[in-house]
Structure 1
Amino acid sequence: MTRVRWWGTGVVALVLLILCAGLPLVNEALGDRGAPLAPGTVLSAGTERDGARPVTFVVPSAGWVLSKADTSLTSSVELFSGDVVFNLNVVVPLGPLDARRLWDGLGRIVAVGGQTRLGAGPAPITTAHGLTGLTGRLMGRDRAGMATVFATDTLGATVTAAGPPRAFREVAAEVEAMARSVRITAPWP
């Protein structure tokens, strides 16, 4: 008769337990969730050409963290400060693009999520670089924020930021400063 030894199976089970339960804890401890950003950091998104990405913005103050998991520099950048999430998305149009059409499209996209909606009647906004667009409120159950859209002939950008109302009020000026720092290098074929 053959004698069965279970210690090997036990070791394998222990290793799997450590890998499945321990690695997420190690990742969290090592800060895998994000990278803190210094005031004045310039972030860029979009398809890189000649060493540069076409859409940029500036982080105005400390306290913002780059979400590594939710950022794809070819299309979007996500930051967070406490419970407030800031997103910049690059829009590559399939046809003619203007800020009003982009605002309406963003409104439909936001509504699909069911958590928030755009406020009616966006207001004009102009960045420090002369880029014009539309901005307005983003609201939902237990959420407050803002949305901004910019459009050029060849590219667009949407900026959304939202969080619990009190948390958003604390960083609203910083969110507006980031939106006003958006720059789209055009034309970008």
Structure 2
Amino acid sequence: MARVRWWGTGLVVLVLLILGLLLPLVDKALGSGETALAAGTVIAVGTERAGGVRPVTFTVPAAGWVLNEARSSLTNNAEVSRDEVMVNLNVVIPLGSLDNRKLWDGFGRIVSMGGARLLGGPSAVTTRHGMAGLTGGLAGHGKVGSATVFTRDDLGATVTASGPPDAYRTLADQVRAMVLSVEIAP
């Protein structure tokens, strides 16, 4: 009869147990890469100008939103999320002349390459700061949302927001408040 040794199996089980217990603790200690945002937090995006000021800003309207640090690079974009709804603001630096219609048309082509689509024609929108833009619905990958573009002088911004239909509907007013808070410094 062969002699059975269990020490090898026991060692494997011990290593798996240690990894199973320690890795979640290490992950928690390192953080999730998200920063909780207070209501009224202003997020500034774009290449820093004189005095360290970034040219494109938007305001978080309520507590509960988080800045996704791993998916944000404040030189060109910021992504905030809450309850599976993501809002992404991207700064656009054009190679030529830029207006809202050109940016909307180009943005539609980019969105379609990712498998989503802009719904219908855009409608006019004006921010709290008086900046005009274009906005419309967005759908794809089982999500719904909105897309908005703004231009000023030689700089533009796109704002996309999407999430599962129920989650997006719940947060639609907060998303709209963020969109209407966008400002591009001249």
Give the TM-score of the pair, scaled to structure 2: 0.85
2:6 aligns with none
Aligned residue runs from structure 1 range 14-163, under 5 A = 26-28=26-28, 30-50=30-50, 51-114=52-115, 116-163=116-163
Percent identity between matched residues is: 56
| 2:163 matches 1:180 | no
Judged with a 3 Å threshold, the aligned counterparts in structure 2 of structure 1 residues 153 and 26 are, in CA distance, closer, same or farther, namely same
Give ranges in structure 1 of 5+ residues lacking alignment. Answer: 1-9
Measure how far apart 1:141 and its partner are. 4.2
Judged with a 3 Å threshold, the aligned counterparts in structure 2 of structure 1 residues 142 and 52 are, in CA distance, closer, same or farther, namely same
Measure how far apart 1:23 and its partner are. 5.4
Which secondary structure state, in structure 2, belongs to the residue aligned with residue 122 of structure 1?
strand
Aligned residue type for 2:159? V
Aligned residues of 1:133 and 1:151 also touching (Cα < 8 A): yes
Residues 62-121 of structure 1: CA distance to partner in whole angstroms, max 9, x if unpaired?
11000010010000000110111110000001000011111111111111111x211121
Judged with a 3 Å threshold, the aligned counterparts in structure 2 of structure 1 residues 25 and 138 are, in CA distance, closer, same or farther, namely farther
Aligned residues of 1:32 and 1:68 also touching (Cα < 8 A): no
Judged with a 3 Å threshold, the aligned counterparts in structure 2 of structure 1 residues 22 and 90 are, in CA distance, closer, same or farther, namely farther
Which secondary structure state, in structure 1, belongs to the residue aligned with residue 169 of structure 2?
helix
Aligned residues of 1:39 and 1:61 also touching (Cα < 8 A): yes
Measure how far apart 1:25 and its partner are. 5.6
Aligned residue type for 2:171? V
Give ranges in structure 2 of 5+ residues lacking alignment. Answer: 1-10
Aligned residue type for 2:99? D
Which secondary structure state, in structure 1, belongs to the residue aligned with residue 105 of structure 2?
helix
Measure how far apart 1:28 and its partner are. 4.2
